[in-house]
Structure 1
Amino acid sequence: MSSIELRGVEKWFGDVQVIKGVDLSIKKGEFVIFVGPSGCGKSTLLRMIAGLEETSRGEINIDGRDATAEPPSRRGLAMVFQSYALYPHMSVRDNVGFPLKAAGKSKADIQAKVDHAAEVLKLGPYLDRRPKDLSGGQRQRVAIGRSIVRDPTAFLFDEPLSNLDASLRVEMRYEIAKLHQTLDTTMIYVTHDQVEAMTLADRIVVLEFGKIAQVGTPRDLYENPANLFVAQFIGSPKMNVIPCTAANNQAVAIGGRPIQGPQQPAVHLGIRPEHITLVNPGQGAMDGVVDVLEYLGADTFVIFDCGEAGQVNVRVNGETTLKPGETVGLSFAPTSMHFFDTDGLAIPFTGTAV
């Protein structure tokens, strides 16, 4: 089990800088997830930790030693890729045990470690099958098993579920969460799917254009986003962001009415769909006209046309009787509003419940 520390890490491809001075400390046994949009540098950063990409500047420490210049084989890490990369002519047993065979381990040692990995991953009934006889989720478990037998100090996952369909992704999220609990090993996981990040991570690292936008627990990022980028990236559906003028403890959303606001000047008001209550027209922060209803069973998301303020998404009970064209008042929970300045940075604000 490893601790991993990045100090001023940079990556350049020619004249293009893709990782821009990343500082990050990952504790032993921690499950850390890198998230961000395509091109933000999350996979590149993971490959730098693995040693598959050279570090242009900075330092990567593993268990207190400088591993920046070490080859992948000496870092004690195991990487699971998006592609399963299984040998089609080998059985599951042989695929899982191949790294040990290549390392010259004894047959008894290989069998013991393969059996242990199969028990952890529930692969026992499939050990004599070949990859073509397995589902996508089972193949990914075999790929993970191949890493487990190496007894690594940390696991690195590079979007391991992106090739699976929706139901298998849910199943494998559960399997990976249980695996972390069972092995209690440091894990670093890359995904563009913020739902995976929210459900699996001890801490999330949100990357934007090669820099860390914010690091924190899923709850920290959801409840206290540091800037507009994090506020809208974390959460499904994303936070509503409405232009406003705010200062001296009062705010007015564009096209709305005065409400409680921050002391400092702000130009954006953020409010999540579940923190908006429907009231009578003329009450609350603003009025909206029902535009589209998205029924999801227990919940319905109602998209309101709020004129100059744009569209506002509201989570309501699935049994709502609202109809397109109705005008409704929207009331914002005072303790759940977020305000941002002209640079998109969060402004401290503690609303008072009413």
Structure 2
Amino acid sequence: MASIELQAVEKWFGTIQVIKGVDLKIEEGEFIIFVGPSGCGKSTLLRMIAGLEETSRGKIFVGDRDATSEPPSKRGLAMVFQSYALYPHMSVRDNVGFALKAAGEPKEVIAQKVDEAAHVLKLTDYMDRRPKDLSGGQRQRVAIGRSIVRDPTAFLFDEPLSNLDAALRVEMRYELAKLHRSLASTMIYVTHDQVEAMTLADRIVVLEAGKIAQVGSPKELYERPGNLFVAQFIGSPKMNVIPATAVGLGETAKDFGVRPEHITIVPAGQGDIDGVVDVVEYLGADTYVIIDIENGAGQMTIRDLGDAAHQPGEKVGLKFAEGRTHLFDADGLAIR
């Protein structure tokens, strides 16, 4: 286990710069998640840490060691890919232990490490099966087990759950959280799924166009976004944003933001702003009410109780929770 530090790292593909001077310190044992829209550079940055992509400029440290020019095999890192990349003709036991066998480890050492990994990942009953006889979640656990036996300095995960169905993703999130607690290893994880980021990460790194938009705990990013991009990227449904002038706050701010759960529907004329119900989406425990704001200021989504009774065309007022609103300047930076 070791810390990993990026110092002003850049990545160029010819004349195109995809990573634009990233500085980041990842502490020992920390679970860090890279999120951002497609093309923001999150997988490229992970591959640079792994050594699978050359670092054009800057430095990468693994512990106290400058690993910038080291090949992947020398960095002591283990990478788990989106595809399981298992050997179909080998048993689970042989797949998990393959890297140790290739490295010439004694058979008794391989057996011990494979059995320990199988116990941690609940694969003990499947060790003699082949990959085709396993579910998607079990195959992903085998791929993780293959990394565990190497006792790496850190684990790197590149969208490992994206091939799983919704139910298995929930199960594997739970398993990964438990795995991190039991191993206490440094983990860096790339995903486009913010639910994975919010539930798994110690800290989230939000990337935008090759730069870090903000770094912080899930709670920090959700409650105190530093800019408009993070405010609308983190959270589902996303933060409502309308012109600040629509709520009488346009002197220093350009945009006003408030999350769907921080709005209460009240009778028209009794809130901070009025609107007309456009769409009502019943989801069971919650109902999302989409409101057309008066004077053409845009739309807002309100998260209400599941049994809330609202009808399209109904005129309502919206009351914003005190201390839960956000203002952004003309550059998209948070004012408060």
TM-score normalised over the length of structure 2: 0.98
SS in 1 for 2:254: strand
Matches within 5 A, 1:166-315: 166-245=166-245, 252-253=246-247, 258=248, 265-307=252-294, 308-315=296-303
2:327 to 293, 315, 339: 339
Give the C-alpha shift of residue 181 in structure 1: 0.2
Aligned amino acid, residue 175 of structure 1: E
- Counterpart CA distance in 2 for 1:148 and 1:241 is 44
- Counterpart CA distance in 1 for 2:141 and 2:51 is 24
- Counterpart CA distance in 2 for 1:182 and 1:309 is 50
- Counterpart CA distance in 1 for 2:315 and 2:138 is 50
Q: Which residue of 2 aligns with 1:59?
A: 59
Give the C-alpha shift of residue 84 in structure 1: 0.1
* 1:126 corresponds to 2:126: yes
Give the C-alpha shift of residue 338 in structure 1: 0.2
- Counterpart CA distance in 1 for 2:297 and 2:226 is 23
SS in 1 for 2:139: helix
SS in 2 for 1:173: helix
- Counterpart CA distance in 2 for 1:304 and 1:187 is 41
- Counterpart CA distance in 1 for 2:275 and 2:196 is 33
Give the C-alpha shift of residue 178 in structure 1: 0.4
Give the C-alpha shift of residue 279 in structure 1: 1.0
- Counterpart CA distance in 1 for 2:5 and 2:236 is 31
- Counterpart CA distance in 2 for 1:23 and 1:153 is 20
- Counterpart CA distance in 1 for 2:309 and 2:315 is 13
- Counterpart CA distance in 2 for 1:284 and 1:11 is 50
Structure 2: 5+ residue stretches without partners: none
Matches within 5 A, 1:84-99: 84-99=84-99
Q: Deviations over 1:198-218 (max 9, x none)?
A: 000000000000000000000
Q: Which residue of 2 aligns with 1:352?
A: none
Give the C-alpha shift of residue 280 in structure 1: 1.1
Q: Which residue of 2 aligns with 1:14?
A: 14
2:310 to 318, 322, 342: 322
- Counterpart CA distance in 2 for 1:26 and 1:222 is 21
Q: Which residue of 1 aligns with 2:40?
A: 40
Aligned amino acid, residue 80 of structure 1: V
Aligned amino acid, residue 328 of structure 1: V
Identity of aligned residues (%): 76
SS in 1 for 2:212: strand
After the TM superposition, which segments of 4 or more aligned residues of structure 1 sit over 2 Å from their partners?
Answer: none
Aligned amino acid, residue 234 of structure 1: I
Q: Which residue of 1 aligns with 2:162?
A: 162
Aligned amino acid, residue 269 of structure 1: F
Give the C-alpha shift of residue 334 in structure 1: 2.5
- Counterpart CA distance in 2 for 1:295 and 1:189 is 33
Matches within 5 A, 1:146-161: 146-161=146-161
- Counterpart CA distance in 1 for 2:332 and 2:289 is 26
Q: Deviations over 1:270-296 (max 9, x none)?
A: 000000011110121211211111111
- Counterpart CA distance in 2 for 1:243 and 1:55 is 41
Q: Deviations over 1:117-161 (max 9, x none)?
A: 000000011100000000000000000000000000100000000
SS in 1 for 2:168: helix
Give the C-alpha shift of residue 297 in structure 1: 1.2
Aligned length: 335
Give the C-alpha shift of residue 229 in structure 1: 0.3
Q: Deviations over 1:179-231 (max 9, x none)?
A: 00000000000001111100000000000000000000000000000100000
- Counterpart CA distance in 2 for 1:313 and 1:204 is 25
Give the C-alpha shift of residue 99 in structure 1: 0.4
Aligned amino acid, residue 281 of structure 1: A
- Counterpart CA distance in 1 for 2:284 and 2:127 is 40
- Counterpart CA distance in 1 for 2:120 and 2:50 is 24
Give the C-alpha shift of residue 11 in structure 1: 0.2
- Counterpart CA distance in 2 for 1:309 and 1:130 is 58
